[in-house]
Structure 1
Amino acid sequence: MEQTRLDTGRIRAARRLIDPVFLDTPLYRCEALEPGLGCAVSVKLETANPVRSFKGRGTEVVASLLGGEGAREVVCASAGNLGQALAWSGRGRGLGVRVVASRFATRAKLDRIRALGATLELVDGDHELARERAAEIARYDGIRLVEDSLDIETCEGAATIGLELADAAPSFDAVLIALGGGALATGVGHVLKALAPGIEVICVQPLGAPAMTRSWRQRRVVTTESADTIADGVAGRFPIPAVLDDLLLVADDAVLVQEASIIAGMRMLHDHAGLVVEPSAALGIAAVLEDRDRFAGRHVATVVCGSNVDVDAYHRWIGAARGKT
């Protein structure tokens, strides 16, 4: 593999830093999904943990290393899931956690951040404005800024999912991964290309938040003026150059999906897999729905990456999806 920030040896070592509650998550073939998708489907369930998303793997690595360095406080920007995970990991290691988020973030995620003991600051803007404010706090107060996807620990923590997927290879042909900042896609993709190179790595992003996908396609950073998607966890506008470089080495494809397909994917996971998921976690299913011919007769795995969803919004989405059938 060409030069990358990720290291398979460090990823294996990262497993020893992560609380076992986040490891060895269920991976199973979900036959009930298959008639509607036209292919074999396996689900990697990253929601059955205390923060209900994959982010805890990365924050466990970050908090463990920071605790060893004697750090007492950290700050991050978050759409919701990273903040919860960092609050959980920091609480167990005596780290004070400050989280900056958009005032328009999912209310359930913000409430959970507070409940886990973090200090929460809200900004009147999107996630990119929250990132700017978190960086300002870090500079002013002299504390560690945890930046999802840029900090290699977040990528290598997420990459431990790849180790677990690789252990199951070659039972599937492709892995569908939600693409936002890139920690999940680069981490899992790196391990699969190193240990199971025959598996196709396909990244999936909403059409309304396409910055990283456009960047991957053009092999340069492409920014967008806005992001318009219900999948708030992947709604970034400014890709990180170093993360894009890593992604270019491991992604076989990057696709964009429509909002209606995301909602349909959420409904399928609810009705046929018994899973309540946030929009980002349904991106893999949405990709299959939009291109059934591509996946026909194949066995795909999808990472169900989070289930922190606003209940009222969820019921509206699912109800709307039913109304269209």
Structure 2
Amino acid sequence: MNYSSISCENISQAYQIIDPVFLNSPQFELDALNAILNTRIVLKVETLNPIRSFKGRGTDYFVKQHAQESAFVCASAGNFGQGMAFACRKQNIPLTVFAAETVNPLKLQRMRQLGAEVKLTGVDFDAAKETGKAYALARNYTYVEDGREIEISTGAGTIGFELSRYPEPIDTLLIPLGNGALINGVGAWFKSNRFTTRVIGVVAAGAPSMDLSWHRGYIVATETTDTISDGIAVRNPVPEALDAMKVAVDDIVQVSDEATLEAMKLVHELVGIVLEPAGAVALAAAMIYRNRFAEQLVAIPLCGSNLAKEQMQQWL
């Protein structure tokens, strides 16, 4: 995949095809939050849908574009697997998801409820991914990799399409960065339309591989990750995603787990929304780097809310 492959035309087409249950999510400012951060924050709530995350946009578009396939295999920390399961069930396509043995129990339950066969293997997402690839190859099934598939980034790019219709031009986008599908899709929309908006990715400090790779210009894998933000805990970046990010992204910043927890608590208090850590890192960045964004209009997707009961009790 390269940047030019994610076209505005295809993003517009995806907007017409994706299940409407995932589209036109709320986007609004909150006076209390703006006052705290001394800037204007546009919150885009991507959690009010059947899988509680933005992933349904890209997975629904991808599966509809490949509905002739006999079976799919993927790896997931949980939300991507839910999106694939939701889309595959509608198309009657079997799906096998490989997840780490440490996967969030709520996400595991939801993937299975949506019809996926889930196999637990390995200590983390990247280990599960390698096993999933081998499984698909041995059976001649189609392996779907989040961050690599053009259609998944294209579907995620519809978030950019919707944000670009905000009544005022957005100065900065803060985007949670895991495998790169979201930031490449949204970034492609804004860059292709020649907006002056800066696109900034946000990674967890305990999972810095995408940040290190983007800044150095080549793949930098890490041996482990150490973060509560399981949805973006990547230690081995997708090469195609990194290539696209070289054009779609203006900067990447890191946030600590402590800052992420503060962001989760703040949005819960002010907006009444429960976020999982990976869904809150962009707001954490706005809090940490508030002086950098002072007086700007900053858009932040709140992109996941799959917390287990025990996590809610511990973190909120």
Structure 2 distance, partners of 1:237, 1:229, is 11
Unaligned regions of 5+ residues in structure 2, if any? none
Alignment match, 1:17:
17
- For 1:306 and 1:250, the matched residues in 2 are separated by 22
| Per-residue Cα deviation, 1:246-269 (whole angstroms, up to 9, x for no partner) | 111021110001111000000011
Partner SS for 1:117: coil
CA distance in 2 between partners of 1:241 and 1:212 (Å): 10
Partner of 2:34: 34
Match of 2:147 in 1: 149
Structure 1 pair 8–171 and aligned structure 2 pair: CA distance change class (3 A): closer
CA distance in 2, matches of 1:169, 1:158: 21
Q: Indicate the SS of the match to 1:188.
A: helix
Write the distance in 2 (CA, Å) between the matches of 1:25 and 1:149: 22
> Do the aligned partners of 2:175 and 2:199 also contact (CA within 8 Å) in 1?
yes
Matched, 1:161 2:159: yes
Aligned partner of residue 273 in structure 2, secondary structure: coil
Of all paired residues, the percent bearing the same amino acid is: 38
1:263 aligns with 2:266: no
Aligned-residue offset at 1:4: 2.9
Whether the aligned pair in 2 keeps the contact of 1:40 and 1:299 (CA below 8 Å) is yes
Tell me the CA shift for residue 19 of structure 1.
0.5
TM-fit CA distance, 1:170: 3.5
How far residue 16 of structure 1 moved from its aligned partner, in angstroms, is: 2.4
Which piece of structure 1 moves more, 15-24 or 165-174?
165-174
Q: 1:3 deviation in Å? A: 5.7
In 2, Cα distance between equivalents of 1:165 and 1:195: 13
Within-5 A mapping of 1:85-234: 85-168=83-166, 170-195=168-193, 197-234=195-232
Residue aligned with 2:53, SS: coil
> Deviations along 1:198-232, whole A, 9 cap, x unmatched?
11111111100000011111111111111111000
Shift of 1:72: 2.5
Offset of residue 146 of structure 1: 0.8
Is 1:297 paired with 2:284?
Answer: no
Q: In structure 2, which of residues 217, 239, 242 is the aligned counterpart of residue 241 of structure 1?
A: 239
Question: 3-state SS of the aligned residue for 2:112?
Answer: helix
Q: AA paired with 2:264?
A: M
What's the secondary structure of 2:292's corresponding residue? helix
Secondary structure of the equivalent of 1:293? Answer: coil
Cα distance between partner residues in 2 of 1:65 and 1:306: 24
Alignment partner of 1:212: what SS? helix
- Correspondence for 1:48: 48
Relative to the length of structure 2, the TM-score reads 0.96
Alignment-mate amino acid for residue 304 of structure 1:
L
1:254 counterpart SS class: strand
- Give how far 1:169 is off: 5.8
Name which of structure 1's ranges 253-262 and 11-20 shifts more when overlaid on structure 2.
11-20
- Contact kept in structure 2, 1:32 and 1:273, CA below 8 Å: no
Q: Deviation of residue 172 (structure 1)?
A: 2.6
Change (3 A) 1:43 1:5: same
- Inter-partner Cα distance in structure 1 for 2:96 and 2:241: 24
SS in structure 2 of the partner of residue 95 of structure 1 = coil
Partners of 1:72 and 1:94 within 8 A in 2: no
Q: Distance in 2 between matches of 1:203 and 1:3?
A: 16
Range that drifts further, 273-282 or 187-196: 187-196
Letter of the 1:15 partner, please give it.
Y
Distance 1:146 1:175 in 2: 27
- Offset of residue 132 of structure 1: 0.8
Residue 215 of structure 1 aligns to a residue whose secondary structure is: helix
Q: Distance in 1 between matches of 2:54 and 2:156?
A: 7
Gaps of 5+ in 1: 319-325
Shift of 1:36: 2.3
Q: What's the TM-score, normalizing by structure 1?
A: 0.94
Structure 2 counterpart SS, 1:204: strand
Find the counterpart in structure 2 of residue 321 from structure 1. Answer: none
1:239-296 CA distance string (max 9 Å, x none): 1222111111021110001111000000011001111011011111111221121112
Which amino acid is the alignment partner of residue 130 of structure 2? E
What amino acid sits opposite 1:125 in the alignment?
V
